[in-house]
């Protein structure tokens, strides 16, 4: 059976996803056949595999880092929140129903342990190494009994655990120590050590603290990764931007033409696959911002209404905040608007929903001649086609079935004036299509913006993944990491009291 490692974190967003991807890229560059794995993921950012399975986008990104095709085995359980209290459960790439958090943790989660262990075993039987990602913190003592993604799977599969901490937030030593000290003796035996993420400054000033941490816990630190901008790719747990903030940590390059292009993304509730706008943000001279106020649409050259897990709720939110009226004014003025998936449905005339919100018939914004009926079966496809004279491909994840009754065909949707709509996620990653679309937007907006002729989103993504691999290779003890992956946690690791409560 192949080697393995579980990358856990002191908190959500400590850097588990990118560290897992970095380790995968480092290993594959060494000639190791490696695959990523996350037993259970909670995310509204998802992806469709070639066999038509829905998995977290983070695992698709990690598969790309490992240079393998993503499959449902890599993320057997995906939870897609629909409210503060319930989520859609996606099992082996297919939705199996809605469930409350209490119902899921009360029994359903434990029933899935066998499934996730079978998937992990199949991957370990196929690959030299499987790098697993945990979720949240392994020290969630209220949820340990039914845990299938952190120490539950580490103990069952006998995986060594590397705990990642975000030092940029502060309190990393307390977080490391507390994480171990709140685990049972049996769990602690699998926690091999720590990895510091997002360090700024002189590492020599940190080293005395790392030595003290090792003396306190008997566990070493396997590396200190420096802070780097622009590595927030395909997040899963949340949107790492503030509203009215630029998309992630991207830096806008100088425009090729005389003008920049301003893109405003409506930060609607339960926003899904906001990664669709990453390709726009990668274009020199394109400024992408998330907004939640009507006045912030005034100076935008393009407004994007993104996907959502709550189409009717998002529609109500747009109306409550005056954004719906602002979108209608833009359409009347011939100013560009793009709706993607749930955003496309919102721009239509009517929505019939007895599945997602159970709201029945609801009027849309009426900007596109489209009627949407929600079906119980989810559409999960990887379409390819042509638009604006360019080849384009994407992926679809939706319950809404659209009936287009007019306008000009646009991918699977339509266009009326400067209002565009499609269910296709990821279409803007097709370089020629993206450039053609931005030329149309610039012309309608009256901007002297010129898309760069040589921007390749795929190449930029590969560069990011290589940077993650470089971080591991240059700032982690890779020999010690490989020993962990190959041989498991060191024996004789001390117990740190008090341990998990009875």
- So which residues are the catalytic ones? 341, 425
Q: Could you tell me whether strands 337-340 and 419-422 are parallel, antiparallel, or unpaired per DSSP bridges?
A: parallel
Strand partners, 233: none
CA-to-CA distance for 343 and 398, rounded, in angstroms? 11
Q: Where are the alpha helices (DSSP H) in 182-229?
A: 185-188, 203-217
CA-to-CA distance for 435 and 430, rounded, in angstroms? 9
Answer yes or no: are the C-beta atoms of 156 and 472 closer than 8 Å.
no
CA-to-CA distance for 216 and 348, rounded, in angstroms? 61
CA-to-CA distance for 302 and 288, rounded, in angstroms? 9
Q: Which two tokens stand for residue 15?
A: 């850097």
CA distances from 155 to 191, 219, 274, 370 (A): 10, 18, 35, 51
Q: Which residues contact 18 (CB under 8 A, 6 or more apart)?
A: 231, 232, 233, 468
Handedness of CA 77, 81, 85, 86 (dihedral sign): negative
Which residue reads 């339960």 in tokens? 270
Question: In the 3-class helix/strand/coil scheme, how is 245-283 assigned residue by residue?
Answer: CECCCCCCCCCCCCCCEEEEEECCCCEECHHHHHHHHCC
The SS3 of residue 421 is strand
Peptide bond into 498 cis (omega under 30): yes
Burial 226-251 (b: 16+ CB within 10 A, else e): eeeeebbbbbbbebebeeeeebbebe
Q: Which two tokens stand for residue 472?
A: 């591991």
Q: Which of 285, 281, 423 is nearest to 347 (CA)?
A: 423
CA-to-CA distance for 225 and 472, rounded, in angstroms? 7
DSSP 8-state class, residue 495: P
């Amino acid at each position: 059976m192949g080697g393995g490692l579980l990358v856990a974190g002191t908190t959500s967003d400590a850097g588990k996803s990118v560290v897992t991807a970095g380790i995968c890229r480092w290993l594959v560059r060494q000639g190791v056949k490696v695959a990523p794995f996350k037993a259970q993921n909670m995310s509204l950012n998802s992806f469709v595999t070639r066999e038509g399975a829905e998995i977290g986008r983070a695992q698709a990104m990690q598969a790309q880092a490992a240079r393998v095709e993503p499959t449902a085995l890599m993320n057997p359980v995906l939870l897609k929140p629909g409210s503060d209290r319930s989520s859609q459960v996606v099992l082996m790439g297919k939705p199996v129903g809605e469930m409350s958090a209490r119902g899921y943790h009360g029994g359903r989660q434990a029933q899935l342990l066998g499934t996730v262990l079978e998937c992990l075993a199949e991957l370990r039987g196929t690959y030299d190494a499987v790098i697993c990602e945990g979720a949240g913190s392994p020290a969630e003592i209220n949820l340990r009994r039914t845990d299938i993604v952190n120490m539950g799977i580490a103990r069952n599969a006998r995986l060594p655990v590397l705990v990642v901490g975000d030092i940029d937030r502060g309190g990393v030593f307390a977080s490391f120590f507390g994480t171990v000290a709140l685990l049972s003796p049996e769990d602690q035996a699998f926690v091999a050590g720590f990895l510091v993420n997002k360090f700024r400054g002189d590492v020599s000033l940190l080293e005395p603290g790392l030595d003290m941490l090792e003396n306190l816990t008997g566990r070493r630190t396997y590396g200190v990764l420096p802070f780097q901008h622009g590595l927030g790719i395909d997040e899963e747990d949340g949107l790492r931007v503030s509203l009215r903030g630029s998309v992630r940590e991207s830096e806008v390059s100088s425009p090729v033409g005389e003008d920049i292009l301003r893109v405003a993304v409506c930060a609607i509730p339960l926003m899904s696959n906001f990664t669709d706008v990453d390709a726009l943000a990668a274009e020199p001279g394109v400024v992408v911002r998330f907004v939640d106020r009507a006045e912030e649409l005034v100076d935008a050259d393009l407004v994007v209404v993104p996907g959502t897990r709550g189409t009717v709720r998002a529609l109500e939110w747009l109306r409550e905040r005056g954004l719906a009226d602002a979108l209608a004014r833009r359409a009347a003025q011939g100013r560009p608007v793009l709706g993607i998936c749930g955003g496309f449905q919102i721009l239509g005339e009517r929505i019939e929903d007895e599945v997602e919100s159970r709201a029945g018939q609801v009027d849309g914004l009426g900007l596109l001649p489209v009627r949407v009926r929600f079906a119980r079966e989810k559409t999960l496809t990887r379409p390819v086609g042509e638009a604006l004279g360019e080849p384009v491909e994407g992926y679809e994840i939706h319950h809404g079935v659209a009936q287009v009754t007019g306008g000009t065909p646009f991918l699977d949707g339509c266009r009326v004036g400067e209002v565009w709509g499609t269910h296709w996620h990821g279409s803007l990653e097709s370089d020629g299509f993206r450039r053609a679309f931005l030329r149309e937007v610039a012309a309608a907006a009256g901007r002297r913006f010129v898309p760069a002729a040589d921007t390749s989103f795929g190449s930029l993504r590969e560069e990011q993944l290589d940077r993650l691999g470089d971080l591991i290779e240059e700032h982690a003890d890779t020999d010690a990491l490989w020993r962990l992956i190959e041989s498991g946690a060191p024996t004789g690791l001390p117990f740190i009291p008090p341990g998990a409560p009875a």
